Structure 1
Amino acid sequence: VVESRGGIMDSIQRFSNLPTYLPASPHISNADIFFFLKEANQDIMRNSSLQSRVDSFFIYKANQPPVLNATYGPFSVEQPVPLDLMLTSASFGFTNKFTFNWKLKSHIINSSIYSNKPKIQTLFYIAGKDWDDYDSEEMLPCVKMFAFLESREVVASCRLTGHLGLCVVELELSPSWFSSPPPLVSEETASLEGITVELFYKIYAVDGECSPEDAKWENNIHAGEENEHQALSAMERIGSIVVYPNQDKLKQSSLRVDENIIIHLPLSPVREGDIVTFHVFLADYSLADQFVLRIRTAPGVRISDIRVSDADQWGVQEETDSARSSATLTCVHNDPGAEDRANTTSYEILQMDFEIDNASSLAGAQQITWQVEYPRDDSVSELVVSEIFVSRTMFVGIVPLAMDTEILNTAILTGRMVAVPVKVVAVQEDGSVVDVSDSTECRSADEDVVKV
């Protein structure tokens, strides 16, 4: 708001038929995009005085502190726009760089983790930072992430770096968190629904490597209440993750071979040398008590082990070729009384381990075919194909990054097209980040609103 006062008395205004207003000219400097506004319902008498003038303005983008300048005839005055009117990011307010456009964004790589791999990964990046305005000597602040479960907590840090201003914080939860649930969580709830862990972060500046400001904030687990208020007073919430005590059962898909046999297979990609376990189930209400299962693998994938889940219930005779690329499994129920099994739910018959050859240089989807024969009925199912996706680099998640989180269509006012660059990065298992923008495709949900 600009307010100036003239030296002409109001009494003169009463004798003039000309419009009366103070002819001061406001201007904003050090701002990339700004607009002077006129309110739709603005009072017509607001600027009908030669003593004062009021103008509203909106600063949209600025890379340095804006300055308001007002001129009136030969007179001129200027004043920096107060930062409390700029709505600058409180997170970066302590840095020596003007950060009006900066906002710290976070992305939890996987919101569900498991007690056998209790690692939490969160990617942080600066939105609003000009990717082309990059100084290799620039020292960006550090980000500290906290994980809380009742009175238990763990903390880890990383430094924002590069022209994208990003980093990945990794922390591992202690096995003791899962051996006994926290006081307010029952064992039954923890087993069925998992345990919810809350994540928070804060930013801090340090000249050397990122590390906790206090010796008590080591990169390990500690409990107690003395640090809780100190940490929460400067924290912002990221979100929550759920820790399940069992193996990664949620990341499996079901492949139905026919009305009797279902294969449970993992969805996650694997690497060379990994062993992948497939589970063979009998479907709900199935009366099948004898069948032959034929399996054939792609080159570079071998059958390493076959295990019967319950030898008292099922007998399995296996035949494999010398390369262990195909197998014939004759499965016979030891108690063929169908009446006792007619109302049972689906249950596991056997498990099969498939090993990815280290020397095969495999990549992409590798197929495994399944077929069921029923000797008693002299019938054969259709050939069903499952896939194992082999990746040479283990990506645990992809994250889209926009240089700014807001887009304001000012083209109708400025005549210049408004565009916001977008990149896609992939986070690997070790926390490293790879730019995969050239390998991705983007589509707009509404071309009339945003074009890609």
Structure 2
Amino acid sequence: RSPGGIHPRSPPCGGPSSSRSSPPVLPVSYRLSRTRLAFFLRESRPGPAANGSGGGGGGPLQRAEPFVVFQTKELPVLNASLGPFSTSRVLPRELLQPPSPLDVPGQLTVNWKVRAFIVRLRVPATQPVAQVLFYVAGRDWDDFRGTERLPCVRLHAFRQAREVQGSCRLGGGLASCLVQAPLPATWFGPAARPARRRRRPQGPEPGSEGPGPGPQAELYYTLHAPGGAGECAGAGPARAEGPPTRPLLRVGSISLVRPPPAPAQEDHRLDGNVFVRLPVGPLRPGRLLSVLLCLLPNATVDRFTLRVKAKKGVTLLHTKSRSPQWLVNSELLPGGKHSTATVDVSRVDDPTLSPAWDGVPPEVLQLDFEMENFTSQSVKRRILWHVDYRARGPPPDPDKVVTELTVVQRDIQAILPLAMDTEIINTAILTGRTVAIPVKVIAVEVSGGVVDVSALVECESNNEDIIKVSSSCDYVFVSGKESRGSMNARVTFRYDTWTAPLEMTVWVPKLPLLIQLSDAHLSQVRGWRVPVLPDRRSARESEDVAEEEEEEGGGAERRPSRGCTLQYQHSTLQVFTQFHTTSPDGPEGPGGPGAPQGPGVTMLGPDWLVEVTDLVGDFMKVDDPRVAQMVDGSTLAGREPGVTLFKVVSPLMEAVLGETLVTVSDEKVSVTEMKAQVVSSLSLSLHPSPGSSHTILAKTAAQQTLSFVKQEALLSLWLSFSDGSTAPLSLYSPKDYALLVSSLDERVATVAQARAFPLVVAEAEGAGDLLRAELTIGESCQKTRRKSVLATARAAVRVHFGPDGDEAEDEGPGPATAGPGPPAATAPAPAPEDAPTAPPGSAPAGRGLSDLEIGMYALLGVFCLAILYRHKRVPAEGQASMDHSHHWVFLGNGQPLRARGDLSPQPGGPGAPPEAAPARCRPGDRPSGGSSPTSVQSQAHGRGDGSSGGSAREQAEDPVNSPTSKRKRVKFTTFATLPSEEPAYNSVPAGDEEDPEWGAPGGPRDDGHGRGCRVEDVA
């Protein structure tokens, strides 16, 4: 349990497994707040995409995280964060607790459950009442909210085909109540054989540990809402109302017995002539006790003296004769510590008063005692008796007969220990902090009263290797020194002569702990130098030494180069376990937490692992800190070549809870690739976990579309190394690198660099690979001769101010972005009507080219030049044999221009006189702001003014009246931007000479203002 009820969850590196080839996942961090006990989970046998998936195909990155909430008093809050972005969701009530009759309006009842205790397992016919105590476990006893809105409990007792019911309403500080269901006399069996007169033992009846032989009654219960006045109906015989609407929940069985009549009095012989008769059973304070003195059948005594000494707490009030045949004279002497009485008894010499025996012992006298009040539950009071026949005086106490009387405050028939919760999760083994559960002990009287006797009980744990109990018996706890768990750990409570066990379920973490590293083999990163000492300002003076260190290809030691050294790879770490109960036959010896344990029941099932990284964070250490070190609570970094152990140690004893091997190699790896993903916002959703009613699944998706002006987005960067491992750039300290993010089209998006996280700011609609991220080493370790670039990446940006958001992510680039392609590529689809239009004279925004695109376009240009050169070398006489023309391959996602009919034929075609064109559109003129004839980018994508970048030099080398003008050739024609209401094209396909309208001298002219001659106006 984390301090403050906050449960952090670090992002994984490379997915749920430690495989180096695992795809990157969204490095989002989770935090649970407003909980008392909650855990993040992981499947013990995860699937290939258990934790997330990459954003392939332009889709957002996603990550799913299961978790479970055990204890909370309010609705928890789950927070997902990535850099400066964060989103939170309050867990809905229906996910935390399934609908049940125990639901309380306005009250969170997570982990609440009704527990039932049968007061007497053997119900005698003299007290034909079935008594069951119900209470709500899992509820905070210090929280009294909602106790007045708890439901009613109805007890159903079944005997063959008959049913009786009893009902009560849960309430009070313990949310408890006692149900009493009267049982018919016909349910009990025949009477048993009478037993001899003897003292009835106190405490539980023999055989009360379980139902004995004889008739059985089955007990069930249901929960239902109280009536309008708050009453709970349903007592007495069940009425024929059909089957109950709610399922019957079983309580247990009781035995119905008909014991022999118990004697009301008990005889104690004082000698061979007389005996005293006392009542059986406990006495109550303030009650008058009458004791009879009787003669035995063979007694011949006529005179004797009875001496009585009552100890403190018993007062002899008076004496009187029970028969006219006997005269009684008494002398009472009250005292502070005890009271005494001397009673002279003599027979009356009257023949008419001869005794009539008739088998009944004659009663001589009656002594009345009073029980004084006391504070404890029960006490023993003693009375000393002695009969003197010769008046010799009082004998010593050892020669007297002693009788004991039990005086109790209440007539208790059972005690019941109640725990605030029925389970303990022993996290003390991991944290060293005690986990305690409060306990109350209540006594149930014969009359049905319930009394709290917690302060008067004694207690003892049956096995302190599993659970312990406090000296005051007010709570049970685990301290972290336990070695076992159990489904029925017992603590015995004693109150006077009554005893009762408390059974608990104790979960312990399975050892050894599972330590997961995203990369257990850490290497140096070639070319990535980081400062060694903070007081070294620069390493530019150590350029030659650093170059030698890189070229050597490795070394046995990590040699600093004047304040800078090579960076080692970092690894994320997570610690998992399973809470379980060990086998009852498992080891109980002093093996400690690290001892092997037998199989048992696993909490949440064997398919789930519980993350305990935050619990053991203070007890994680590296065996050799020279080899590796902890950067923070969830990151491990290499320091120098070697092998060491990463351990989780016990907080209470010299024991290791889990360990794994970490290898730091002197081999060097390279950054092979850096992937960049734009994250504009996070969306968080909560769902019930499939296949488990206890767990909840949190799904986080990264949205990539910027949907309003000045919206900020983050770049999520992942590094791929030559050894196959991947890691998020956020795993490394920003002090160890420099990240430069630039925009290739600041009309669409700009970059706010002066931030802890470089942010992308939306300016206008557009889409494409408009961002370039460059990862270099830190300024203090840069060299003067060259810029040490570790990796570069392009990131796609989509700015769309419509409502569709990421739903159109796969539909291609936006309206303001020029797509890649050769000069014949078509432009993207037109912008929607609600999108802001560009002002007149503006041009579509271009984007940068990758190295592969530049190379392919250059190769395409070489092919084009080769074709032109070959055409020029074809002899004139061979022209007639060529009956076909070369058709240009059309590249793009649109239709050829002439097929669409979007552009009118252009003047100035081959063979047209120069004067046929307007004076301001001469073939030799270069458009205003034109690009260089050798610019590959402008040829492929066009300039900002919409021209195709055609060279005037090509036209000058092939004049109209040249002998080669009749040969087949390619004409590059420049076009201006179309009006905003028509589709905008970046470039157009070139026509061939077989097209009669393409550049024909007599073609239509658009009044000297053809689209091919508007370049100067646009410029």
Q: With structure 2 as the length reference, what TM-score do the two structures score? A: 0.31
SS at match of 2:435: coil
The structural deviation recorded for 1:383 is 5.2
**Whole-Å separation in 1 of the counterparts to 2:172 and 2:320:** 46
Corresponding residue number in structure 2 for 1:300: 315
Aligned counterpart for 1:35 among listed residues 33, 39, 60: 39
Q: Deviations over 1:374-412 (max 9, x none)?
A: xxxxxxx97564422223443343322211111111134
Aligned counterpart for 1:21 among listed residues 17, 24, 30: 24
The structural deviation recorded for 1:109 is 2.9
Change (3 A) 1:18 1:113: closer
The structural deviation recorded for 1:142 is 1.8
Query: Which letter maps to 1:36?
Result: F
The structural deviation recorded for 1:96 is 5.1
**Whole-Å separation in 1 of the counterparts to 2:224 and 2:180:** 17
Asked whether 1:209 is paired with 2:230, we answer: yes
**Whole-Å separation in 2 of the counterparts to 1:168 and 1:195:** 23
Asked whether the 8 Å contact 1:266–1:276 carries over to 2, the reply is: no
The structural deviation recorded for 1:441 is 3.4
Corresponding residue number in structure 2 for 1:242: 256
Change (3 A) 1:427 1:72: same
SS at match of 1:357: strand
Asked whether 1:408 is paired with 2:411, we answer: no
Using the TM superposition, name which of 101-110 and 88-97 deviates more: 88-97
Query: Which letter maps to 1:450?
Result: K
Corresponding residue number in structure 1 for 2:370: 357
**Whole-Å separation in 2 of the counterparts to 1:367 and 1:72:** 78
The structural deviation recorded for 1:126 is 1.5
Query: Which letter maps to 2:232?
Result: S
Q: Deviations over 1:35-67 (max 9, x none)?
A: 22456x645966586346554434221234556
**Whole-Å separation in 2 of the counterparts to 1:384 and 1:68:** 75
Asked whether the 8 Å contact 2:419–2:437 carries over to 1, the reply is: yes
**Whole-Å separation in 1 of the counterparts to 2:267 and 2:66:** 61
SS at match of 1:129: coil
Asked whether the 8 Å contact 2:147–2:172 carries over to 1, the reply is: no
**Whole-Å separation in 1 of the counterparts to 2:215 and 2:102:** 33
Change (3 A) 1:110 1:131: same
Asked whether the 8 Å contact 2:178–2:448 carries over to 1, the reply is: yes
SS at match of 1:31: coil
Asked whether 1:433 is paired with 2:450, we answer: yes
Query: Which letter maps to 2:172?
Result: G
Using the TM superposition, name which of 268-277 and 415-424 deviates more: 268-277
Q: Which aligned pairs between 1:173-252 and structure 2 lie closer than 5 A?
A: 173=183, 177-178=184-185, 181-182=186-187, 187=190, 195-206=215-226, 207-212=228-233, 217=234, 219-220=235-236, 222=237, 226-227=240-241, 229-230=243-244, 233-248=247-262
Q: Which aligned pairs between 1:441-452 and structure 2 lie closer than 5 A?
A: 441-448=458-465, 449-452=467-470
Corresponding residue number in structure 2 for 1:140: 150
Structure 1 portions without partners, runs of 5+: 1-15, 283-287, 308-316, 329-333, 335-347, 374-380
The structural deviation recorded for 1:137 is 7.3
Using the TM superposition, name which of 235-244 and 416-425 deviates more: 235-244
Corresponding residue number in structure 2 for 1:122: 132
The structural deviation recorded for 1:97 is 2.8
**Whole-Å separation in 1 of the counterparts to 2:20 and 2:157:** 71
Corresponding residue number in structure 2 for 1:59: 69
Asked whether the 8 Å contact 1:365–1:388 carries over to 2, the reply is: yes
Q: Deviations over 1:127-169 (max 9, x none)?
A: 1111111138742222222333334443332222222212222
**Whole-Å separation in 1 of the counterparts to 2:45 and 2:270:** 71
Change (3 A) 1:425 1:242: same
**Whole-Å separation in 2 of the counterparts to 1:321 and 1:197:** 57
Asked whether the 8 Å contact 1:271–1:392 carries over to 2, the reply is: yes
Asked whether the 8 Å contact 2:383–2:404 carries over to 1, the reply is: yes
Corresponding residue number in structure 2 for 1:3: none
Change (3 A) 1:136 1:71: closer
SS at match of 2:243: helix
SS at match of 2:217: strand
The structural deviation recorded for 1:98 is 2.4
Q: Deviations over 1:343-377 (max 9, x none)?
A: xxxxx99999986537x54772212457899xxxx
Change (3 A) 1:138 1:229: closer
**Whole-Å separation in 2 of the counterparts to 1:318 and 1:353:** 12
Corresponding residue number in structure 2 for 1:150: 160
Corresponding residue number in structure 1 for 2:53: 50
Identity over aligned pairs, percent? 30
Asked whether the 8 Å contact 1:142–1:158 carries over to 2, the reply is: yes
The structural deviation recorded for 1:119 is 3.8
Structure 2 portions without partners, runs of 5+: 1-18, 55-61, 196-212, 333-340, 346-356, 389-397, 471-1019
Change (3 A) 1:232 1:54: closer
SS at match of 1:92: coil
**Whole-Å separation in 2 of the counterparts to 1:400 and 1:89:** 29
SS at match of 1:421: strand
Asked whether the 8 Å contact 1:197–1:243 carries over to 2, the reply is: no
Aligned counterpart for 1:366 among listed residues 340, 362, 381: 381
The structural deviation recorded for 1:110 is 3.1
Aligned counterpart for 1:162 among listed residues 143, 164, 172: 172
Q: How many equivalent pairs are there? A: 392
SS at match of 1:420: strand
SS at match of 2:425: coil
**Whole-Å separation in 2 of the counterparts to 1:190 and 1:161:** 43
SS at match of 1:104: strand
Asked whether the 8 Å contact 2:112–2:138 carries over to 1, the reply is: yes
**Whole-Å separation in 2 of the counterparts to 1:302 and 1:115:** 37
Change (3 A) 1:103 1:162: same
Query: Which letter maps to 1:200?
Result: Y
Aligned counterpart for 1:423 among listed residues 433, 440, 443: 440
Asked whether the 8 Å contact 2:51–2:64 carries over to 1, the reply is: no
SS at match of 1:110: coil
SS at match of 2:421: coil
Query: Which letter maps to 2:73?
Result: N
Corresponding residue number in structure 2 for 1:273: 287
Change (3 A) 1:191 1:92: farther
Corresponding residue number in structure 2 for 1:9: none
